[in-house]
Structure 1
């Protein structure tokens, strides 16, 4: 299985951390040079994003999304059947190796993503992963994109759906709602965030923190527009799911 670590070239300590994490569980990883959205010109950002639906995304979030899309493009170009995509603040535990080994051998042909990170909500009644205390469950709500397995079919679907950039790289819940890919997660998680994640590379300075509230309001308005523009059959499907399925099968992750 191909392993990609997304890393901004200037963050050497984060790169070394992620490579060590992979080495500790027997994985050989390739560094994928991330795109620093803060270094892009206004014209470059305009060329790479949706003119309306990307409103409220920061330059760093755009760079993050472009970096993940770049990995998908590489998977498609090289015809890679299955890949593990990591960000450089990932932290594995001692269960990770066995779980990842199992998942890479049991990913279906249809577009599928396996989240190794914690998720917000998932469905009861998952599939037990052999020789572990973990389950593979269907996801209802999730964010975070620092550790996930993706197959070639999913990379194709997600690249087509998310390019040019109009969604955050980890907008998993919306991808689920739109039925773009099948998203499952490992419970309990085996791909955690390290202490390095506390040093945000998105809200990285006081000036950006000050504009966070304004930007998030812009994003809320854009996401509302995105949801409003969904096809009627998708809206109906999600309404029926919320009414008849979620109250009985959904649980929050502890």
Structure 2
């Protein structure tokens, strides 16, 4: 049966095993999906890259551009469709929490609880140092079936990855228009917020992302090695920093 809230999966044609795993997870919950062939970084030509305006900085490598183009292709499909809300998944998303109840409630009117000018991340932050610095509101929460979204109060620059999120077609339009003006990395959550393209973010942690390293992800390789020259803190200094970080996170979570 076709979902009224479509689930788009981004996947390279060659990644048969990944496709099988994620579609099996959805089929087991009687959920349908739309498979979208991802753009391959290695197949991008110089002409394709030269057409992009790098106002906010050049990408680290072609795979990063390919990822951005893949998400753009889905935004266009959503805008051209007659749906309001859609879920976008990358093929390595780990779905070990039931989603059928969540989607069923969305399809039966619970989208009225959502704000069209916000983006709702379904997870994917585990394994990132930035996750420890995120603060989520104690009070501004939205529960739909077994999924609980909490407003991100601090701060969008600590959000990464595009492995799993719920988005409204109006936001897709804004992100397409922005990409037409200038290239941006797919998970430029902070940039969207700073440019007022997105009013804010909610985070639920029901879908997981594989713990990546420099061996299994080119994009992660760049991000993990980006700060290698920073001085490492000692044990006592780290504990003190963590203590004050937890205090700051607590007070930031008191925001609505």
TM-score, normalised via structure 1 length:
0.72
- SS, match of residue 208 in structure 2: strand
Post-superposition CA distance 1:182-234 (Å, at most 9, x none): 443343x0111147x66745359xxxx6xx48x959xxxxxxxxxxxxxxxxx
1:246 Cα offset (Å) = 8.2
What is the RMSD computed on CA atoms of the aligned residues?
A: 3.0
Q: In the alignment, which residue of structure 2 is the partner of 1:227? A: none
Unaligned runs of 5+ in 1: 218-244
d(CA) in 2 for partners of 1:130 and 1:116?
Answer: 12
User: Once structures 1 and 2 are overlaid, which stretch shifts more, 154-163 or 28-37?
Assistant: 154-163
Post-superposition CA distance 1:53-97 (Å, at most 9, x none): 341331000000000011001111123211110100011123433
Q: In the alignment, which residue of structure 2 is the partner of 1:156? A: 173
1:18 Cα offset (Å) = 1.6
Q: In the alignment, which residue of structure 1 is the partner of 2:242? A: none
Decide whether the 8 Å contact of 1:9 with 1:33 is kept in 2: yes
Decide whether the 8 Å contact of 2:8 with 2:88 is kept in 1: yes
Decide whether the 8 Å contact of 1:62 with 1:165 is kept in 2: no
Post-superposition CA distance 1:143-193 (Å, at most 9, x none): 111111111111111111233552211121222233212443343x01111
d(CA) in 2 for partners of 1:2 and 1:145?
Answer: 17
d(CA) in 2 for partners of 1:98 and 1:75?
Answer: 22
Q: In the alignment, which residue of structure 1 is the partner of 2:26? A: 22
Aligned length in residues = 213
Post-superposition CA distance 1:75-129 (Å, at most 9, x none): 1112321111010001112343333444563254633321001443233223251
- SS, match of residue 176 in structure 1: helix
Aligned with 2:73 (options 70, 74, 93): 70
Unaligned runs of 5+ in 2: 126-130, 228-247
d(CA) in 2 for partners of 1:185 and 1:110?
Answer: 12
- SS, match of residue 26 in structure 1: coil
d(CA) in 1 for partners of 2:54 and 2:144?
Answer: 47
Alignment of 1:66-215 (within 5 A): 66-103=69-106, 105-106=110-111, 108=114, 110-119=116-125, 120=131, 121-124=134-137, 125-129=139-143, 132=146, 134-139=147-152, 140-141=155-156, 142-163=159-180, 166-187=183-204, 189-194=205-210, 200-203=216-219, 212=222
Structure 1 residues 85, 33: CA separation in 2 closer, same or farther (over 3 Å shift)?
same
d(CA) in 2 for partners of 1:76 and 1:131?
Answer: 27
d(CA) in 2 for partners of 1:190 and 1:5?
Answer: 17
TM-score, normalised via structure 2 length:
0.71
- SS, match of residue 150 in structure 2: strand
Structure 1 residues 157, 109: CA separation in 2 closer, same or farther (over 3 Å shift)?
same
Structure 1 residues 102, 96: CA separation in 2 closer, same or farther (over 3 Å shift)?
same
